[in-house]
């Protein structure tokens, strides 16, 4: 990993930690003023905004990460003719995102109102909240030219500062609005979420723009669309290779959105607002580790893979670059799997104890606690899929992207069928949706493993099979760690008779007993000692 890439990844992790910590604190305050039903309404508005933003900008962002960085004057002349043209080309492409986003936003907004539940539309301030969310989404779209310049120039510090300050603004504004509504005697509504999102988008736009404006002055380009000219540009504005690559990746990004946000779409179709709010709470708290650590690592790694292995960078990546990228990938997968072993065996036991401190009485229910415990099993799958997908995205050709889109379509159908069966036929509720997500991620991981294995064999020729086997061996934890995981699971089974007995018992006790007896305290001490012993077992093997 280069120094600049390490710096970027570090900044991204610190940004995620600080912004998520602030979001966590803000949510803790907001949950004191809300019910699961109101949270479910806020989830629908957020899903609408995320759908528009992701659909409009994701494919172009990834395509631009694959564009080579000019290393000398000759390369610059051949690629964009100058740093000015390179920057202006990026800005011009960003306005395609804005145009697509505005169109998608209009279609999505009208469709939502036509199909929205009457209970949602009759909620106080919902129309106002919807309008504010719409404005916030448009503001984020218009921040895209500045963001792409920041991404292109690897301005990690500027991005970290902007996102942290924006998170602070969202936290303060949403919590402040909730407090004002409560103490002025008004009915609780989703307005605090909308105000918070508007503050976040406004601050993000302002700080991104300030950082990008400094670059534009130095490199002499504008943050507005300006014709460039030349045979490499569509309508004298848009770089053809990037547009074609982004177009190829667009369909794939839609399927990824459906697979990534599929649980929210399915819940909005088949579940009540209260169930949607409960699942959103579980997903936010259960996925906190993934967003704090795994997501920044994924973004930083995507930049590393894109610079060293992209087919648009060099016709054939050198053996050194290939080995460096594979070593980076195997190290991360190895780390993820190491972290997964104690996570899935120990963390579910802590959830019932923590929920009594984190949630208000409206959210401190056996169902939500059980859902959180189940969600923990999903986190390792999400993490491994993210890093493998980042690697695949940076090495695949246009034809291979089309092949992946076909498989993504198949996975989407299978995922929907499994989710429907678990929710409607087996009536497993929200935990069933978590298991459907695990099934979805397993399919995607299997495809990525197959693709990466094929790619390694292609790159190394006769030695490919041996190299692929060695690569996957490096990814796996030492057998002693796996044995420790089995041993810890055995301890849980031997002590309780069933894997989730501890979860169910503590959950029920939380809602029934406010004054624990001496026997209860002794039992808690024994459980704590048992947990410490299991942690020690992992520490020895790792």
| pLDDT (tens place) for every residue of the chain, 542 residues total | 555 555 555 666 666 666 666 666 777 777 777 777 788 888 889 889 999 999 999 888 888 877 765 544 444 444 445 667 888 889 999 999 999 999 999 999 888 888 777 777 777 788 899 999 999 999 999 999 999 999 888 787 888 889 888 988 998 898 888 888 888 877 778 899 999 999 999 999 999 999 999 998 888 888 999 888 778 888 888 888 888 888 888 877 887 787 777 777 777 776 677 777 777 777 777 667 666 777 777 877 877 887 777 544 444 557 788 888 899 899 999 999 988 888 888 777 777 777 777 776 667 777 778 888 888 889 899 899 999 998 998 888 878 888 888 888 899 889 889 988 888 888 887 788 889 989 999 999 999 999 999 999 988 888 889 999 999 999 988 887 778 777 776 666 565 544 444 344 434 443 443 444 444 444 444 444 444 544 454 444 45
- Structural element, H or E, at residue 234: strand 233-234
- Structural element, H or E, at residue 204: helix 191-219
Query: What is the predicted pLDDT for the residue at 404?
Result: 85
- Structural element, H or E, at residue 239: strand 238-239
* Structure token pair of residue 156: 């990690």
Neighbours of 17 (CB within 10 A): 15
Whether the Cβ atoms of residue 385 and residue 448 lie closer than 8 Å to each other: yes
* Structure token pair of residue 356: 């009594």
CA 235 to chain centroid:
35
User: Could you give the CA distance from residue 470 to residue 450 in angstroms, rounded to a whole number?
Assistant: 15
* Structure token pair of residue 100: 């697509």
Whether the Cβ atoms of residue 282 and residue 367 lie closer than 8 Å to each other: no
Q: Which of 93, 104, 111 is nearest to 56 (CA)?
A: 104
* Structure token pair of residue 465: 């099979």
User: Could you give the CA distance from residue 393 to residue 372 in angstroms, rounded to a whole number?
Assistant: 31
Query: What is the predicted pLDDT for the residue at 313?
Result: 44
Q: Measured in Å, how far apart are the chain's first and last C-alpha atoms?
A: 24
- SS3 state at 233: strand
Q: Where are the alpha helices (DSSP H) in 31-125?
A: 36-65, 73-79, 83-115, 118-121
Tally of helices (H runs) and strands (E runs) in the chain? 23, 2
Query: What is the predicted pLDDT for the residue at 492?
Result: 61
User: Could you give the CA distance from residue 240 to residue 284 in angstroms, rounded to a whole number?
Assistant: 39
User: Could you give the CA distance from residue 211 to residue 359 in angstroms, rounded to a whole number?
Assistant: 39
- Structural element, H or E, at residue 238: strand 238-239
What pairing do the DSSP bridges indicate for beta strands 238-239 and 233-234? Answer: antiparallel
Neighbours of 3 (CB within 10 A): 7
Query: What is the predicted pLDDT for the residue at 508?
Result: 42
- SS3 state at 98: helix
* Structure token pair of residue 481: 């760690």
User: Could you give the CA distance from residue 502 to residue 518 in angstroms, rounded to a whole number?
Assistant: 19
């Amino acid at each position: 990993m280069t120094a600049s890439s390490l710096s970027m990844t570090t900044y991204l992790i610190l940004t995620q930690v600080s912004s998520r910590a602030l979001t966590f604190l803000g949510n803790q305050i907001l949950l004191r003023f809300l019910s699961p039903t109101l949270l479910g309404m806020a989830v629908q508005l957020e899903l609408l905004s995320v759908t528009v933003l992701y659909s409009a900008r994701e494919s172009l962002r990834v395509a631009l990460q694959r564009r080579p960085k000019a290393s000398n004057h000759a390369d610059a002349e051949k690629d964009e003719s100058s740093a000015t043209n390179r920057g202006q080309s990026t800005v011009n492409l960003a306005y395609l995102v804005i145009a697509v986003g505005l169109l998608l936003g209009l279609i999505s907004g009208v469709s939502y109102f036509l199909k929205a539940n009457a209970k949602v539309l009759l909620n106080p301030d919902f129309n106002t909240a919807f309008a504010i969310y719409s404005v916030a989404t448009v503001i984020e779209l218009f921040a895209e030219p500045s963001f792409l310049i920041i991404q292109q120039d690897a301005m990690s510090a500027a991005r970290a500062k902007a996102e942290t300050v924006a998170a602070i603004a969202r936290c303060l504004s949403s919590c402040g609005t909730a407090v004002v509504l409560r103490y002025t005697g008004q009915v609780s509504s989703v307005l605090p979420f909308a105000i918070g999102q508007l503050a976040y988008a406004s601050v993000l736009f302002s700080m991104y723009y300030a950082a990008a404006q400094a670059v534009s002055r130095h490199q002499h380009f504008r943050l507005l669309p300006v014709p460039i000219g030349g045979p490499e540009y569509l309508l004298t504005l848009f770089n053809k290779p990037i547009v074609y690559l982004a177009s190829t990746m667009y369909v794939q990004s839609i399927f990824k959105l459906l697979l990534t946000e599929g649980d929210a779409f399915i819940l909005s179709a088949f579940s009540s607002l209260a169930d949607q709010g409960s699942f959103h709470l579980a997903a936010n708290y259960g996925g906190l580790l993934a967003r704090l650590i795994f997501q920044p690592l994924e973004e930083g790694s995507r930049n590393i893979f894109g610079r060293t292995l992209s087919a648009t960078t060099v016709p054939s990546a050198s053996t050194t670059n290939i080995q460096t990228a594979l070593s980076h990938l195997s190290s991360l997968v190895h780390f993820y799997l190491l972290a997964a072993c104690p996570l899935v065996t120990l963390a579910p036991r802590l959830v019932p104890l923590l929920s009594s401190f984190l949630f208000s009485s409206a959210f401190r229910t056996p169902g939500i606690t059980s859902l959180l415990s189940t969600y923990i099993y999903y986190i390792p799958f999400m993490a491994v899929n993210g890093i493998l997908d980042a690697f695949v995205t940076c090495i695949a050709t246009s034809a291979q992207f089309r092949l992946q889109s076909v498989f993504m379509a198949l996975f989407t159908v299978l995922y929907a069928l499994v989710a429907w069966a678990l929710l409607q036929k087996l009536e497993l509720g929200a935990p069933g949706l978590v298991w459907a997500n695990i099934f979805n991620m397993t399919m995607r991981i299997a495809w990525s493993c197959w693709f990466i294995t094929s790619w390694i064999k292609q790159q190394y020729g006769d030695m490919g099979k041996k190299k692929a086997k060695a690569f996957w061996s490096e990814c796996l934890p030492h057998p002693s760690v796996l044995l420790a995981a089995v041993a810890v699971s055995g301890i849980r089974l031997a002590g309780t008779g069933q894997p989730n007995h501890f979860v169910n018992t503590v959950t029920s006790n939380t809602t029934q007993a406010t004054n624990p007896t001496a026997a209860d305290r002794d039992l808690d001490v024994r459980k704590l000692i048992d947990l410490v012993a299991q942690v020690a077992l992992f520490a020895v093997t790792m």
